Amino acid sequence: MVSDACSEKSSTRKTSTVPPDPTPLDAFSHLVKGYPMLAGRMSVLPEIAMFRRYGALNARNLLYLQNELVCLEEQLIAWEKHDNMSAVGMKKDYAVNAYWLNSSSRKKDDGSLRDGDTQQRDVFLRIRQTLNEYSALPNFRHNIITDRCISRSRSHPAGDHSADEGTRQVRSERHPALPCRRTDAIMLLRSRLRYLREHSRT
């Protein structure tokens, strides 16, 4: 009898289960492990987020886009000169009235193009698309100069007031919505030249 009671109690202990906790400790347990869960944690703790800047690739991309824009600009100027001397359709008025340029794809009653072709508008549309892509990275272009300027000026001696002045000017001009300006590079060069002249005399 005693042994049967003990065995019954032991079997009861083995079969008893603890009810699951309805509230899991991990708030991201519903996300798949890997990038989904990592992204969820980054959304709550943004200070743990780390991303590469891809500086060399971004600079290379900007150089390619810049070269493409130069070529497209040359083509646009050539077509502007060509159409300005043409007597076909409304080409001669492209330069003074954008309506005729924008409507150059319209056709006449016989189905032919009103102005014979749409070369100038096609080139400009390509320029618009490439320029929008190029202008979509103003922060990176601006930081290429300002970040280097600030990091270099911090390495200057404390008595170098010209470097401090250059740093203040760069910081005052730094704005996330502004594209890279040539004045930043000129200011940096002037600051460096002033620094070299002062230290070459000593």
- Mention every residue, 6+ apart, whose C-beta is less than 8 A from residue 167: 149, 150, 153, 154
pLDDT, average across residues 72-99: 95
HSE at residue 151, side-chain half, CA atoms within 13 A, is 6
Give the model's pLDDT for residue 92. 94
d(CA 193, CA 115): 55
Is 68 among the domain residues? yes
Is 110 among the domain residues? yes
Is 12 among the domain residues? no
Q: What digits encode the pLDDT tens for the residues 108-166?
A: 999 999 999 999 999 999 999 999 999 887 666 666 655 555 555 555 544 444 444 44
How would residue 175 be classed by pLDDT, with cut points 50, 70 and 90?
Answer: very low
Is 17 among the domain residues? no
Mean pLDDT, all residues of the chain:
75
Same domain assignment for residues 155 and 178: yes
Give the model's pLDDT for residue 27. 77
Tokens, residue 19 = 């009810």
Same domain assignment for residues 126 and 178: no
Is 36 among the domain residues? yes
| Domain span holding position 40 | 24-53
Is 13 among the domain residues? no
Q: What is the pTM of this model?
A: 0.55
Is 91 among the domain residues? yes
What is the tally of structural domains in the chain?
3
